[in-house]
Amino acid sequence: MGCRHSEHGPRLDANAVRCQNGRLRGLASWNHMRGPHDIGGLPAGPVETHAHEVTFWEKQIDALRSVIGAKGIVSTHENRRYIEELGHDAYDRLGYYERWTAALCRQMVDRGILTQQEIDERVAELRRRLEEADELKLAEGEAVKGG
C-alpha cells in the first residue's frame, strides 16, 4: 500500500514512522528525538538485578525530594522532566540517585530557591571535608601500622 504523500515515495518503508499529521519520518529522525530514558525496543545490554545498600546521601536525597514534593515545591512530573532533560551523556554517566540530585539542583536554581554559586560552594565544602576525613583515616591507619 502506498503513502498518499508523494514525497515519501510509492511504498511505506518498514523503517519509517508516522508523525502527528500522518506524514512519515525516517527512523533516524525518530531516534534523534528519543530522550536518554527512552530505550524501548533498543538493545540496552543486561539489566543489573543485584541489590545495593542505599547509602546515607541516597537516603537524604530521597527524603529531600519527598519533602519538597509534599510541600508542593516540585511535582513528580517536573522531577521526571528534569531527569529526562539531563541529556544522553549525563544520563548514562550518572547513577540513579545522582540523576535525582542533578535534576533537583537544576530545579532549585530554575525556581530561584538556590543559586548555582551556592550549590557549587556547598559541593566544594563537602568535598574538602571528605578529603580531610580520608586524610585523617589514612594518618590514623599509618600510626597503628607503625606502632
Domains in the chain, please, with CATH?
A: 1-34 (no CATH), 56-146 (1.10.472.20)
Please, what sign has the CA dihedral across residues 63, 68, 69, 70? positive
**Which parts of 85-115 fold into alpha helices (H)?**
88-93, 96-110
Instruction: Cell numbers for 48, please give them.
Output: 543489573
Whether 19 has a pLDDT exceeding 90, the answer reads no
Give the tens place of pLDDT for each residue, 107-142. Answer: 999 999 999 999 999 999 999 999 998 888 877 766
Q: What is the b/e burial string over 86-121, where b = at least 16 CB atoms within 10 angstroms of the residue's CB?
A: beeeebeebeebebbbbbbbbbbeeeeeeeeeeeee
| Separation between Cα atoms, residue 106 and residue 114, nearest integer Å | 9
Q: What is the largest CA-CA distance in the chain?
A: 86
The pLDDT of residue 87: 87
Instruction: Tell me the whole-structure pTM to 2 decimals.
Output: 0.61
pLDDT digits (tens, 9 = 90+) for 32-42: 555 656 555 66
